[in-house]
Structure formats: C-alpha cells, structure tokens
Structure 1
C-alpha cells in the first residue's frame, strides 16, 4: 500500500515510517520543506495541513491516510494553536483524502479525551475525532497514553532532571497513575490496522502493561540510570494551579495549565487493544533501559 503520512516527521512518525516500510508499504511523507535526504520507501511532498490548497492533491494515488499531527503546547503568536493543528488540519486532511479517492483514514488522538474534555488539548483532540467519525471514510482512531522511546520528550526530560537536580519536584501527592506505551508498539498498531478490516470504525485506547504512579515512574527512571532512588519535593496542587498560569507565559517554563490538569488526572486504560492486534506491549522499564544512559 501507499500511505499518505501527515505529522510523520516527529517522534512517533519516525517509528511508524520504519514499521510501514518494513511491512512492504511505501510512504508519501508530508513535509513543510524537502530535506534532500532520501529515505528508503519514502517520498516527500511539500505542504501544510493547515492550508487546504497545499494538501488538496497530496493524498491522490494513495491507499490510506495517517494523521499524526498534534502539539502539546500552544504558541498563539506563532500561529501554533490546538484549533489549527488538531481540528483544522484534520478537517483538511479528511477533505484531501475524499477528493483523492482515499477511503482508509487513521487518526492519532490522545488517551483521556472524550465528550467531557475540559482542557484545550483534550477538547480539540475530541473535536478532531468527531470530524473523523463524521467523514464517511473507513476510519480508525487511536488514543495512546504517554509514549516513550529513544527520542521522546517526557521520559528523557525527567531523566535529565533526575541526573541534574538534587531533588525532583512532584505536583501534589504523586499518586496519580500513568500507563506509558512504547513508540514501537504504537507504530505496530497503526500499521496493523491497515491489515485488519475489523478495526474500521473503532477507537482504541493504547497503553502499556505497567500502571505506575508518578512517584513510581520517577523511581523506575532513577533505577534505570543506576541510582538507588530519587528525593522528591512535594508541591501543593492548589499552589501550582495558581502559579502555572502565570509562569506558562514564559516559553522556557516546562509546564502549562493544560499539562498540569492532564498529569494529575492520570492516564490509564484496560489494555484490551492487544487482543485485536495480537501482541503483548513492551514493559516500561525494559523499554527505557534500551536508551537511557547511566
């Protein structure tokens, strides 16, 4: 199959490109500007998913469209908003797929979104899902938990802080739970859906096998780095809800109000997706041990 891949230059996109090519598919990769670097099994096409005219013909001749476009933080001054990148981009890719005769459409969403979403990130992710469901295409939606891998932002950031700081700040009690999933496993699900007709019209929550509190997550990272543990400093949740909205205006501050609420809400699922896709997900500690440096 020839796959039109949007958002495929990022972290998960790199894993998915390799997975698709390894299964014999070819990838038409949407890029803002051609890099000049050739990648086996991939061709680059210039365009911007937020500009309908620039992607109108990009999907033509492909068998499926995969949309991985997403941001975790807005920078309105640069035009980087949840509305543009989540909702408008999805709408434009759906239109390009219909016009190009592409029936199959795979959408990257996020675990935790839904009709009751209250943060801007989750609310726009859910609205993008609704666009997909109303498209009349043969769609599949994936909602992954925190995704980890060699080039991830979250685990690598925490590992860097653990190595550099005498103590790790923890918001609230740190007992909220996360269920991280390996980027390779997410890629296998996306690629597998193209070969499984029963996934059409389905939404899958993706998570790994390990349900960890945030405290346990930090301890696991520290252990992987060869440390006995990590000293934690509690930051009251009520105080952080006052401070973060002010400090998030600074581009270098690593947390926004949306991210704060998503973190303390937790991010877990029942793991039932593995029965459909036929493989067991990689454990968190085994996965991060392959790339974190002691």
Structure 2
C-alpha cells in the first residue's frame, strides 16, 4: 500500500478508472466526509475497493472524490438519524463503516442522538440489507460507567451495534493526529493567545496518539480480514505520552515557550461545564465565526482517565498495520503555521 505523507487527499493510487470492474466491491463510509473518513476512503481505494461516502452535507465532501480515480469514490447525502437515507446509502454495498461521531454537543446535535441512536439504526439497516461486514468506529475510553457523556454514549453505541450486528468489528482509537486534527491544532492555536497552558489534572493523563493514515489502514484491515469479525481492537500509536509531554512537544514545535499551570479537576470541571452549556445555545450560523468551543465538561471528564491501549487488548498490528507513524515525524509538517512567523520563522537559540 502506498503511504502518502502529504497533507491533502490526493495521492498515488494503484487502480485506474478502467479497473472499476475489477474492484473488490463497494464500501459505504457513513460520516466519511470527516477527518478520519477522508483517509479511510484513500486507504480503501488503494486496497482495490470502491467507496461511497455518505454524509449530511454533500457540498462539503466534493474533494473526497479526489481520494481515488474518477468513478472510484462517490458522495451521497445521508443522515444518521434518517432510515430512508441510510437504506439508500448502504444499498448494494459489501461493507459499511460508521464514522459518525461528535466531540461536543451543540443545538440539537447530542451525543446520544449522533453516537448511540445513530449507530443502532445504521447497524439495523445494514443487517436488513444483508451487508457482509460492519465496522464501528468507537474510542478508547468508551465505558458505560464513564462520567463523560461522550464515553458513555460510545459504549452504548458499541452495545447497540453488537446486538444488531454480532459480527461487527469495533475499533477504538486513542487521540488521532493529522493535519486536520482537533488536538494538536487546538492547543497550538491556544498557545498563540495565552501566556500559560492549563495542565488539567496536573497534566498526568497519558495518551497514545495514532496517525489518521494508520487508523485508515486499520479500517481497511477490519473490512478485509475474516479473523476480525466480532472482535474489538484498540488503536494506539508507537508510544504513549503524558499530557505535559505533549504540551512540551507542541510548544517546542511552534517555538512558543509557555508556562504550564496545574489546573485541578475540581476547578476545571465547573469551568468546562459552564462553557459547554453556553456553547450549546450559540446559533448555528455563528459556529464558523467562533471556531470550536474551549474544552467542554465531557472532555474534561475524559481527561481523568488514561487514553492508552489496554494490556492484553487486540491492537492495530493485529489488523496488519505494522509500521506506525510517530507524532515527531508527522505533526511538524502542519504545526509550522502556528510559529510566530510561520514558515519563515527561525527557531530561537537555546
């Protein structure tokens, strides 16, 4: 498989337009216009699969067609809560991958609706349509007893999918990095405007960041491998880091020294819940102007637990992804824009 390290969607691909009749089949990516979906489309095409990207706003996914030669990637409209649109989206597919997920709630978009109810409906439709393989993208931290609504609804989604599609493959990635990520970009951008960085919980929480391209390769493996059926895999990168270590890496990459101020959970929780509650009532037309919200209560609750692959869990290498990219190799290729002078910045001498 060609592993392209460019920041765009296009890459070098094995199949050509004339090879469509020789494809392995069709995979529908529900929620495929998002961060991971764009990488998954490319990985599947490289493996010889045709891809149908199903998303709410087709106009936001036109560039996903560049993930393959003409005719290999199609984009259709679908809503994870609408049965009729899902039936059309999965019709004729060999496999379905559910990539729908939200990091914070806003307006009518809730964790339960988008992540639990939507997954249940999609799995039910896939079973009724005779789909051979169903892949559910969950998250490390999915736990029915989690204090975080995000973690609880991810766990509920896994259970709902298993009930309706017992052979489903469940993938639980740690934080995912890449040019469009919501972790490294967020904190690098924050460092542009504040003199210190909040080390929530003392910055001791551990993460095992995994590259979006490697998650995409794992998705392709989950679609293809017969021995993956009915199993759960936790996806992590080559090593784990504490929150403080990730802060240090980010600040060094963007050459912006900042103090790290420990912020106990009993202080961070009320602040985050208030900001999240305010954000939920901001009109949708303002989202593009304001950007993503600060850390929400649910995200702070997730920071109370390590986000690393569990001992004894099936991992990304069990899906055939043997060479993993590191944050040191990939993240500098897109965080440069947060340096004081961008690409023209000269690092200060120690």
Q: TM class by shorter-chain length?
A: over 0.9
Q: Distance in 2 between matches of 1:163 and 1:285?
A: 21
Correspondences of 1:127-146 after superposition (within 5 Å): 127-146=156-175
Determine the structure 2 residue equivalent to 1:258: 298
Aligned counterpart, 1:230 = 258
Partner of 1:285: 328
- Pair 1:16-2:40 in alignment: yes
Q: Secondary structure at the match of 2:216?
A: helix
1:88 deviates by 1.4
Contact 1:209 1:283 in 2 (8 A): yes
Partner of 1:37: 62
2: CA distance, partners of 1:103 / 1:203: 17
Over residues 235-265 of structure 1, what are the superposed CA-to-partner deviations in whole Å (9 max), with x where a residue is unaligned? 2322222332223222264111110010132
Aligned to 2:222: 193
Task: Name the SS of the counterpart of 1:132 in structure 2.
Answer: helix
1:4 to 14, 18, 28: 28
Matched, 1:67 2:98: yes
1:26 counterpart = 2:50: yes
Match of 1:273 in 2: 315
**Aligned residue pair count:** 291
Secondary structure of 1:5's partner?
Answer: strand
- Secondary structure of the residue that 2:105 maps to in structure 1? coil
Deviation string 1:53-100 (CA, Å, 9 cap, x unpaired) is 22123211110000000011112xx31001110111112211221222
TM-score relative to the length of structure 1: 0.92
Q: 1:152 aligns with which of 181, 185, 199?
A: 181
1:52 matched residue in structure 2 = 83
Gaps of 5+ in 2: 1-24, 280-289, 340-350
The alpha-carbon deviation at position 165 of structure 1 amounts to 2.5
SS in 2 for 1:248: helix
Q: Deviations over 1:90-124 (max 9, x none)?
A: 12211221222212100000101134333211111
CA distance in 2, matches of 1:93, 1:108: 13
Deviations 1:172-203 (A, max 9, x none): 31111111111111000000122211111110
Q: Deviations over 1:113-144 (max 9, x none)?
A: 13433321111111110111112453100010
